[in-house]
Structure 1
Amino acid sequence: MFKALSLIIPTLNAGSNFELLLQSIKKQSIVPHEVIVIDSESDDATPQVALKYGCSVISIRRKDFNHGATRQFGVERSGADIVVFLTQDTILASASSLKNIIDCFNDPTVGAAYGRQLPHLHSSPIGAHARLFNYPPESRIKTMGDAAELGIKTAFISNSFAAYRRAALQEVGGFPANVILSEDTYVAAKMLLAGWKVYYSADAQVYHSHDYTVWQEFKRYFDIGVFHGRESWLREAFGQAEGEGFRYVCSELRYLWVSGKRFIPKACLQNLAKLVGYKLGLHEKLLPRWVKKRLSANKQYWAQA
């Protein structure tokens, strides 16, 4: 049995839905040892809402937030054997969501686990398909041996609902100190290379989806390109990302043909924006910093990079 379980939630102006997340945590069949909220100078009532639900609130300066370093800061503040990360815009889908993701670690070779993301009720067909494509209804344990089949998808994981074995996290050096995003993929890849397994649990479920604009998708994929360009070892170990992108586009068009034909033009524009953004991000070293900051969704990163 595990000594303790910690939940860590980074926040910034979490809004009214944040309370729904905290309520869903209270309804869980297992009780976490602590819920740590790391707040980046929210302008709304996020810290007060967190305190109302018994969370430990740690405040950091907004300019000091980094996807990797901030999460590692949370890990170091926790003494738990298993650390679960949630993003502020998720809602645990059932009372057993937390238990189901923790049960993944009954296998002592599992270093990290992540749950299934379900689209919110009012999600558009584009947002819904993204969740259905990336989070299928079947659970799977991934090892380095799956790289020939899955390529870079082998290291796929999502910190919107992910859990880490502290010992495995420490073995691979923890979360990276300064990445633009994809700190979860970075850690999962390091664990796989070190011989650990990554467990996808389709029974551990949260509601989480986004309806991005074309420009938002461009900026998000620019950042993904920056990450893949700067962490070239990832593509060398697991393969390129472009093949997975083609498979996604084909799946999306088939889904929209049935579920919402009027969304096809927007989906085509978004996929073009993703491709251009990703390619620019891969070659960001050729761009001046002010341009990179303009194209990026994570502008504060460029003050730290």
Structure 2
Amino acid sequence: MRGIKMKVDVIIPTYKPDKGFPEMIKRLEKQTLKPNRIIIMNTEEKYFEKLLYGTDFAREHPEVEVHHLSKREFNHGGTRHLGALHSSGDIFVCMTQDALPADNRLLEELTAPFLSDDRIAVSYARQLPEKDSGEIERFTRAYNYPEESCVKGKEQLSEMGIKTYFCSNVCAAYKKDIYQELGGFVRHTIFNEDMIYAAGAVQAGWKISYAAGARVYHSHNYSCREQFRRNFDNGVSQAQHTDIFSGVPSESEGMKLVKQTASHLIAVHKPWLVIKLIAASGAKYMGFWLGKHYKSLPARFVKACSMNKDYWL
């Protein structure tokens, strides 16, 4: 099975890419399973051209194609779906511009589950903390992205709850024919296009693979304000898709993470960070709760709370 050749495209939405982005492209080009094409869905051409000024990007990276769109045109689900339409691969991989492949086996490891189980619709990668990550962020990454791989389907819902649907487009591979059969990503969404798709796949009888051997460096040191806004958008997303999320509430999973993180901080002799954890967790919960009730809030307040303000235009 592992000898089967698959054509794989990589889709990367970008907005104001920084100096680390060219390194990401170089690492993708050096993969043991080489991408057929790297499809960049870039928001605002001027920022992309500014990063690459003085370089011959097209000549140096012939397998890369760039599609520009305006900020108003960008959408978490719709933009990735448009990228999928440009793909001619058997599999397409969605990545974010700040996900850095940890080694040259990322694509090979990420797509391997498709070869061993034809019921797998999606495979997502392990996210490793970056060097500047704090203790809380490091533990959170290890909690959400453990060392052991797993496969999730309907059978796991009673045990895993909302985590059955967990999937991340920071780095995730999609089997193209199943993607088309299921109708692809929801076109207009503020957040969670990956989990919404994964949930639909599970409910249709397909499976989700977590491929721990596929690794990318990706983490954030969000402030409490940023945590609030990010989780507000998460709450909005869940309120808009009650058919998926109402039966598997995520609050209990969040509380479990908080308790285990606090225990970890005490175990590593950093109890003072528990205060920071409580503040961040409070911001997350408040943002999430308000987001789930956004329909009863004033429009101006909703936009002020949101991380993705252009969604409300």
TM-score by length of structure 2 reads 0.93
Indicate if the aligned counterparts of 2:127 and 2:216 stay in contact, CA closer than 8 A: yes
Tell me the residue number matched to 2:186: 176
- Determine helix, strand or coil for the equivalent of 1:64: coil
Paired with 2:272 and 2:99, the residues of 1 have a C-alpha distance of: 28
Tell me the residue number matched to 1:290: 300
For structure 1, the 5+ residue unaligned runs are none
Within the candidate set 249, 255, 272, 1:246 is matched to 255
1:125 aligns with 2:128: no
What amino acid does structure 2 have at the position aligned with 1:161?
A: C
1:103 aligns with 2:107: no
Tell me the residue number matched to 1:28: 31
Indicate if the aligned counterparts of 1:119 and 1:209 stay in contact, CA closer than 8 A: yes
Tell me the residue number matched to 1:185: 195
Paired with 2:298 and 2:261, the residues of 1 have a C-alpha distance of: 34
CA RMSD of aligned residues (A): 1.4
What amino acid does structure 2 have at the position aligned with 1:282?
A: K
Paired with 1:261 and 1:19, the residues of 2 have a C-alpha distance of: 39
Paired with 2:8 and 2:184, the residues of 1 have a C-alpha distance of: 17
Within the candidate set 6, 13, 16, 2:16 is matched to 13
Corresponding residue pairs, total: 302
Tell me the residue number matched to 1:38: 41
- The Cα of 1:266 is off from its aligned counterpart by 1.5
- The Cα of 1:46 is off from its aligned counterpart by 4.2
For residues 73-110 of structure 1, the C-alpha deviation after alignment (integer angstroms, 9 at most, x for no partner) is 00001111100011100110111111001111111110
- The Cα of 1:3 is off from its aligned counterpart by 4.8
Paired with 1:8 and 1:46, the residues of 2 have a C-alpha distance of: 19
Paired with 2:52 and 2:107, the residues of 1 have a C-alpha distance of: 23
- Determine helix, strand or coil for the equivalent of 1:20: helix
What amino acid does structure 2 have at the position aligned with 1:56?
A: E
Paired with 2:189 and 2:143, the residues of 1 have a C-alpha distance of: 26
Paired with 2:108 and 2:152, the residues of 1 have a C-alpha distance of: 20
- The Cα of 1:27 is off from its aligned counterpart by 2.0
For residues 98-157 of structure 1, the C-alpha deviation after alignment (integer angstroms, 9 at most, x for no partner) is 100111111111000001000001211122112111001000000111000111110000
TM-score by length of structure 1 reads 0.95
Paired with 1:150 and 1:120, the residues of 2 have a C-alpha distance of: 27
Tell me the residue number matched to 2:126: 116
Tell me the residue number matched to 1:235: 245
Moved more, 98-107 or 250-259: 250-259
What amino acid does structure 2 have at the position aligned with 1:7?
A: V
- The Cα of 1:4 is off from its aligned counterpart by 1.6
For structure 2, the 5+ residue unaligned runs are none
- The Cα of 1:181 is off from its aligned counterpart by 0.8
- The Cα of 1:201 is off from its aligned counterpart by 0.7
For residues 245-298 of structure 1, the C-alpha deviation after alignment (integer angstroms, 9 at most, x for no partner) is 111101111222234333222211010011111110000000121111100000
Q: How does 1:88-167 map to 2 (within 5 A)?
A: 88-106=97-115, 107-167=117-177
- Determine helix, strand or coil for the equivalent of 1:63: coil
